[in-house]
Structure 1
Amino acid sequence: KQKVATSFVQGTLVRNPDIVGVMFIMTIDPSKISTSITPFAMIDEHSALPQEQEILFTMHTVFRVLEIKQMAENSRLWEVQLTITDESDPQLAGLTDCIKQEAQGTTGWYRMGHLMLKVGHFDQAEELYNELLESASTDSDRAFIYHQLGWLKDDQGKYPEAVKFYEKSNKILEISLPPTHPNLASSYNNIGLVYKNMGDYSKALEFYEKSLKIKEKALPSNHPNLATSYNNIAAVYYNMGDPSKALSSYKRPVETYKAALPPNHPD
């Protein structure tokens, strides 16, 4: 079957000299997964081309990438080796838990909006958040939605609009939260990030330092979020053409990360 697939792909490459071919080789070992969680089925008898031995997978099926290699006989053809996996895989389970934690929001609609942002479906996310904003009944919900719209506009590169939404969110938080609340630190940090993206480094530094002051009061001295603030401030100093202050600031996150994270952590 692999020879048939290779022949098909190579024929396509000959007819289309500007494209690259990728062939996925999937290993499916039922003993390595729970078929009740990740079901699949052979659909030969229902297929228009039974000889192709097609397999139907459930939409949430996940494959682990084992190897990616360029084919020796054709530099425009690549082979990707995959093996099926499921939530019994410790690394996949850890990633799934992390994604669940990142999908903030009190309801399914809020979490849906967050996931739309994560995958770059900005128009759909904006439409959803505007509808949620119309029905929001609490200040905390409105602050959250304004924050998400700010994030959306920042990702789109629409920085003035991002600042507007972030500041609307921040105004609510400043009224409703104590001055050392961690959510205020995150709010100030996000505003600083947008100003940095706009090239307004003095304003970025102002908000980064506001964020840092709260974190220094609210968090232990070796908390990774402190390292993030030190790193952001260092980047601003570097962009402002002050390498000595940048270097001094960069040393602080390194020490904080060393104290807070295991030695093999990617950060």
Structure 2
Amino acid sequence: MHYADYKTILSQQNGMNLYRGCTHGCIYCDSRSVCYQMNHDFEDIEVKRNAPLILESQLCHKRKPCMIGTGAMCDSYIPLEDELQITRQCLLLIEKYGFGLAIQTKSARILRDIDIMKRINAKTKCVVQITLTTYDEGLCRKIEPNVSTTLERFQVLKTMQEAKIPTVVWVSPILPFINDTEENLHGLLDYCIEAKVVGVLCFGFGVTMRLGNREHFYAKLDQQFSGLKQKYVQQFGNAYICNSPNNNLLMDIFKSKCQRYGILYKTEDIFAYLRKFESKEQQTKLFY
């Protein structure tokens, strides 16, 4: 771990990442890509010094409240968060100033902050986004070794459902020749149906690979999936988008099942939902 100084926290799209790097160990992680210009080891987490102070200043200068997103490039609940509690401090500020929250994670650590999320959701909207990749718990431990298992993440979804906090699931990535099966997709979607998620994001059934994350991914394939690296090289070469040969079949299943159970599945619809700020306090006042 090391600290770094930043002048801003929020992007133009009102997203923020409080850490740079990760220790979850997911073998496919796009954030390892060279294009993100991380000048330190990926597991040597960079902590944004005084992030809560900078966030408070930026929130105070907003003309009107909006949804604040976090967790896209770096999980907000890496193990360091237990000690530093930077995510929790920032959530308290989001609540204090009346902003909404769209937060993404793979970690059950998020349950620590459910008290703040309930309060945000009572005033506006708090959406918890959980990534699910494989229904198989053993396979999960191979491709996402240091993070909550799929079952644990499903239990987070259920807990959020009970707390009336809306959820969105990212089914991504689906790794060709590893978890690109009908059985896996049905298992993940059944979790989503049971947890009554608002939407499921899927950008196609495959994985993206760029300089940096491709080399790491291939090294992990050599360690855990004998001979599979050669199959990837033959199938995809240096392609950025590596779609599963089962992509069309899986996409048909995905769309059909989401439609049947009233789950949002079009990316534009889900992102519009995540970005839409809602004031429940104003709605409540209409009845008085």
Normalising by structure 2, what TM-score? 0.27
Q: Which has the higher helix share?
A: 1
Normalising by structure 1, what TM-score? 0.29
Higher relative contact order (Cα pairs below 8 Å, separated by 6+ residues): 2
